[in-house]
C-alpha cells in the first residue's frame, strides 16, 4: 500500500490532506485555504491520486478531491489529533469470540467492523494482534481439532485474518528504519504463519526491514536467502508436529552458516516450539518466542541492544518463563 506517512512528511501535501479532512474540495478551495500556488496543488494532488491516497470526482466542470478511503482517513485523523468517536473500552475476550465466529462463516464485513471498533478505541497493534486475532485463531484451531468446523472453514478464517492484519498494519505508521533486518519463514511441511506474520508486522513498525518468506520454504532456498541478505535475526515458526523434523534440520543448517562468522540470531516460534522447546534450542536456536507480547517485551530489547544472545544456558532462554 501507499505510504501515507511519507506524504504527510511533505509540508505542502500535509496541508492539502489536512484540508481534505473536512470533505471534498476543488483545487481553488484548497489554494485559498493553504495559500499554495495552483500548479503546486495540482501536482501534489496528481501524485497522491496515483498513490491511492486521494480520489477525484467530477461535478459539472469542477473536479473535487477527497481522502480515498476510511483507512486513509483514520491515519490522517490520528496524525492531526482530530477528535473522533472512540469507544471507552474494549472487552477483548468477547471481541475475540465474535471475530472467530464471524471468520469461520466467511463474514468478512463483520470481522472488519470489529477491527474498526478496535481502531476507534485507539488499541495499539500489539493488543489487536495479541488480544483479538491470536486468541480467535487459537479458538478456531481448537474447533477444527474436535471437528466442530471443517478444514475449508479454517482456511477461510485464516485468509480473512491475513487480510485484516494487512489492513491493520497499513494504517499504523512505521518508525524510521534503523538498519536492522529480520528474515522470517517456515521450513518444509510448516504452513502456519499467522503468528510469524504478526511478529513481522510488529518488527516493521519498530523500524526493522522485514523479509517474510512465508510457509513451506525449501531448506536450501531458506539458507541461500539468509546468505544473500545477511539479516540480523532469523525467525522460524513451527506450528505442527509434521514440520518439526524439517525445522530442526533448518536450524542445524543455519547454525552451521553462523559458525562461518555470519553474525545473526536465530529464534523459533509456534505451538510446537512453545510445547517442546529443547530440540529447537539444541539445534541452534537462541530463543523461543511464545507469543507476540513476550517477544516485544523480552526478546526485542535484547535484539536491539546487543550484538549477540547472552551466553547463558539456551534451555532457560524461553520468553515467558
Range of the domain at 37: 4-79
Instruction: Supply the DSSP string of 182-200, one letter for each residue.
Output: EEEE--TT----HHHHHHH
pLDDT tens, residue by residue, 174-196: 556 678 999 999 999 999 999 99
In this predicted model, what pLDDT tens digit does every residue of 204-227 receive, in sequence order? 888 899 999 999 999 999 999 999
Q: Structural domain tally of the chain? A: 3
Cα–Cα distance list, 198 to 150, 277, 321 (Å):
24, 20, 21
Same domain, 97 and 118: yes
Weakest mean pLDDT among 52-61, 176-185, 256-265, 304-313: 304-313
Read off the pLDDT of residues 92-129 as tens digits, 9 standing for 90 and up: 999 999 999 999 999 999 998 898 788 767 678 899 99
Which of 149, 170, 191 is the C-terminal boundary of a domain?
Answer: 170
Q: Are 187 and 218 in contact (CB under 8 A)?
A: no
92 burial (CB, 10 Å; 0-12 / 13-18 / 19+) is: middle
Amino acid 215: pLDDT:
96
- Residue ending a domain, among 170, 204, 228, is 170
Q: Who has greater pLDDT, 56 or 11?
A: 56
Other beta carbons less than 10 A from residue 187's beta carbon: 24
Give the pLDDT of residue 167: 76
Give yes or no: residues 206 and 284 share one domain.
yes
Average pLDDT over residues 295-302: 92
Tell me which of 23 and 293 has the higher pLDDT.
293
CATH number at residue 125: 1.10.1240.10
Please tell me the predicted confidence (pLDDT) of residue 4.
72
Q: Is the pLDDT of residue 158 over 80?
A: yes
Q: How many Å apart are CA 80 and CA 93, to the nearest integer?
A: 31
The pLDDT assigned to 101 comes to 97
Q: Are residues 303 and 277 in the same domain?
A: yes
Tell me whether residue 175 is in a domain.
no
Q: Which of 50-54, 143-147, 194-198 is predicted with the least confidence, judged by mean pLDDT? A: 50-54
Task: Determine the pLDDT at residue 321.
Answer: 41
DSSP class of 80:
T
Residue 233: predicted pLDDT: 96
Q: What is the per-residue pLDDT for 282?
A: 96
Q: Which residues contact 211 (CB under 8 A, 6 or more apart)?
A: 181, 182, 183, 184, 225, 229, 231
- Quick one: 152 and 195 in the same domain? no
CATH of the domain at 47: 1.10.10.10
Q: What's the CATH code of the domain at 189?
A: 3.40.50.280
Amino acid at each position: 500500500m501507499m505510504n501515507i506517512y511519507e506524504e504527510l512528511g511533505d509540508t505542502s501535501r500535509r496541508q492539502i490532506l489536512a484540508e481534505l479532512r473536512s470533505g471534498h474540495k476543488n483545487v481553488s478551495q484548497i489554494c485559498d485555504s493553504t495559500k499554495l500556488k495552483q500548479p503546486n496543488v495540482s501536482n501534489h494532488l496528481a501524485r497522491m491520486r496515483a498513490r491511492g491516497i486521494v480520489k477525484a470526482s467530477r461535478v459539472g466542470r469542477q473536479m473535487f478531491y477527497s481522502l480515498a478511503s476510511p483507512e486513509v482517513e483514520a491515519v490522517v485523523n490520528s496524525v492531526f489529533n482530530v477528535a473522533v468517536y472512540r469507544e471507552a473500552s474494549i472487552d477483548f475476550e468477547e471481541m475475540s469470540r465474535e471475530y472467530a465466529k464471524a471468520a469461520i462463516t466467511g463474514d468478512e464485513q463483520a470481522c472488519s467492523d470489529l477491527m474498526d471498533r478496535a481502531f476507534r478505541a485507539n488499541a495499539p497493534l500489539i493488543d489487536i494482534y495479541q488480544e483479538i486475532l491470536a486468541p480467535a485463531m487459537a479458538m478456531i484451531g481448537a474447533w477444527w481439532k474436535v471437528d466442530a468446523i471443517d478444514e475449508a472453514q479454517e482456511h477461510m478464517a485464516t485468509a480473512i485474518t491475513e487480510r485484516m492484519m494487512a489492513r491493520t498494519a497499513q494504517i499504523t505508521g512505521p518508525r524510521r528504519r534503523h538498519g536492522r533486518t529480520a528474515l522470517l519463514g517456515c521450513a518444509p511441511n510448516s504452513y502456519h504463519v499467522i503468528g510469524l506474520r504478526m511478529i513481522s508486522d510488529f518488527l516493521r513498525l519498530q523500524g526493522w526491514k522485514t523479509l517474510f518468506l512465508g510457509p513451506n520454504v525449501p531448506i536450501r532456498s531458506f539458507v541461500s536467502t539468509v546468505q544473500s541478505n545477511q539479516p540480523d535475526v532469523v525467525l522460524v515458526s513451527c506450528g505442527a508436529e509434521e514440520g518439526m523434523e524439517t525445522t530442526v534440520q533448518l536450524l542445524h543448517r543455519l547454525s552451521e552458516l553462523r559458525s562461518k562468522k555470519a553474525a545473526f540470531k536465530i529464534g523459533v516460534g509456534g505451538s510446537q516450539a512453545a510445547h517442546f522447546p529443547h530440540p529447537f534450542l539444541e539445534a541452534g536456536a537462541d530463543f523461543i518466542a511464545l507469543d507476540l507480547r513476550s517477544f516485544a517485551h523480552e526478546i526485542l530489547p535484547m535484539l536491539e541492544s546487543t550484538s549477540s544472545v547472552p551466553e547463558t544456558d539456551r534451555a532457560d532462554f524461553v520468553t515467558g518463563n
